[in-house]
Amino acid sequence: MWWWWWWWASGRRERDWRCVVWACLSLLAGVTLPKGSGGLLAHASAAEEEDWGTLVAVTAERGSTARLPCKINSQNPEDPVLLVLWYKNASVTPVYSYDSRGTDGGEGASVRHRQWGDEAVWGKEQRAWFDISTTPAQLLIRNVLGRDEGNYRCKVHFKGSPSWSQRITLNVKDPPGFPKIQDASGLRLEGPIGPYEDGSTVRMICMSSGEPPPGLVWGGLGSALGGGSAVEREGNLAKTWLNVVASRSTADSVITCSTMNASVSSGIMNTVSVTLRVNLPPLRVTLESPGEWVSGGQQTSFICRVSGASPEPVIQWWLAGRQLTSHLPTVTTLAGNVSESKLKLTPEPGDHGVPLVCKAFSPNLPGTVMHQQITLAVHSSSRQHTTFPNMAMQSS
């Protein structure tokens, strides 16, 4: 019954998180939030009750379309569904949403805009789509991959009725001769995996079945690490092991496992791969100013570049010891594990001589903060301009 405890704990964490967010959003009642993760939260009270459906098991063949059911009808036929959120495994942030708030229910652009999927899960091609034309409604996952396997939960919010949650487990069935990578606990590993702590050892098992069982070979970083253990065969099942130490040198490395067959011209039949994610603090923070001084009352852009952090870092701007939360700097990801934040600031004469600070840290390592600062030199008609003091890297 371990899965029951997992689902209960996961639901409890999510409910606590939701209550805090809803309390903060209560001041924004009636406002349609922008597309994306910020617009995925339902308008509901923190004390609402929630019904739970029974666990549903779904099996889909690799490459086919998986259909995950979710009932979106309340006990009151006149009570419309406002929001459907889909969660995967223990995540407290949705991987997919269906939002009908602010739409008229008709066809057209408004319908297309109310569905959102996390690109990190479904890719840029958006393999998932929530189909409300069936009973029950279904989350369709096209071209099912091994990494889609896991525990899902759809959470349905109505205008007046209690929320409803449906639990679904998705098992992806591989064709004969196709390799499968999993960890020591049996969890399937495919695509981005982790993030793991720096210095931890990730033990991977690659297996495949067939008659006779195929050969297996590690590739990518796996081949650089010695190719793993020898292949063991039990009946029609073949297995091999590989241990990888998560570190800065192995972060974002691709590891493959392929089935081999001497009768095939290239030898390789099928390949599955993983990309190792590692929690890493920033290595460098660089704060760029537009010049030696800035003009008071005129908007000026500052750029902060952060390199070496994984996953994408949290970047904060501080002025005179106060965090700038209303300026909404834009953050983009550049090549080479570099993130860039651009701040548009209108300095006032009173900001002359105060520090402007850029802080950065990995979201999973909040205790490892790195920052850089400059002292603003604000020029006004009543003051001769001065220059910026030399900038110095400061870490904490």
Q: Predicted confidence band at 33 (pLDDT cuts at 50, 70, 90)?
A: very low
Return the top range by mean pLDDT from 95-104, 257-266, 326-335: 95-104
Question: If you average pLDDT over every residue of the chain, what do you get?
Answer: 80
Over range 345-355, report the average pLDDT: 90
Question: What pLDDT digit, counting tens, does each position of 224-241 carry?
Answer: 888 889 999 988 899 999
Over range 82-88, report the average pLDDT: 95
Residue 132 near residue 63, CB atoms below 8 Å:
no
Q: How far apart, in whole angstroms, are the C-alpha atoms of residue 392 and residue 396?
A: 13
Per-residue pLDDT at 136: 93
Predicted TM-score (pTM) of this structure: 0.71
Question: What pLDDT digit, counting tens, does each position of 170-215 carry?
Answer: 999 998 889 999 999 999 999 999 999 999 999 999 999 888 888 9
The two tokens of residue 381 are 């008609």
**Three-class SS of 147-174:** HHCEEEEEEEEECCCCEEEEEEEEEEEC
The two tokens of residue 127 are 């393999």
Q: How far apart, in whole angstroms, are the C-alpha atoms of residue 338 and residue 335?
A: 6
State yes or no: pLDDT of 315 exceeds 50. Answer: yes
State yes or no: pLDDT of 50 exceeds 60. Answer: no
Q: Predicted confidence band at 267 (pLDDT cuts at 50, 70, 90)?
A: low
Q: Predicted confidence band at 390 (pLDDT cuts at 50, 70, 90)?
A: very low
State yes or no: pLDDT of 40 exceeds 50. Answer: no
Q: Number of C-alpha atoms within 13 angstroms, CB side, residue 152?
A: 28
More confident residue, 335 or 246: 246
Over range 331-353, report the average pLDDT: 86
Strand 163-173 and strand 50-61: pairing? Answer: parallel
State yes or no: pLDDT of 373 exceeds 70. Answer: yes
Over range 22-36, report the average pLDDT: 35
Q: How far apart, in whole angstroms, are the C-alpha atoms of residue 140 and residue 143?
A: 10
Q: How far apart, in whole angstroms, are the C-alpha atoms of residue 270 and residue 303?
A: 45
Q: How far apart, in whole angstroms, are the C-alpha atoms of residue 324 and residue 300?
A: 15
Q: Predicted confidence band at 38 (pLDDT cuts at 50, 70, 90)?
A: very low
More confident residue, 15 or 309: 309
Lowest mean pLDDT among 57-61, 106-110, 330-334: 106-110
Residue of 80, 88, 69, 91 whose CA lies nearest to 42? 80
Over range 132-161, report the average pLDDT: 94
State yes or no: pLDDT of 382 exceeds 80. Answer: no
Per-residue pLDDT at 303: 93
Per-residue pLDDT at 265: 53
State yes or no: pLDDT of 45 exceeds 90. Answer: no
What pairs with residue 70 in β-bridges? 137
**What structural domains does the chain harbor?**
45-173 (2.60.40.10), 180-278 (2.60.40.10), 284-395 (2.60.40.10)
Residue of 177, 174, 102 whose CA lies nearest to 144? 174
Residue of 247, 182, 241, 237 whose CA lies nearest to 217? 241
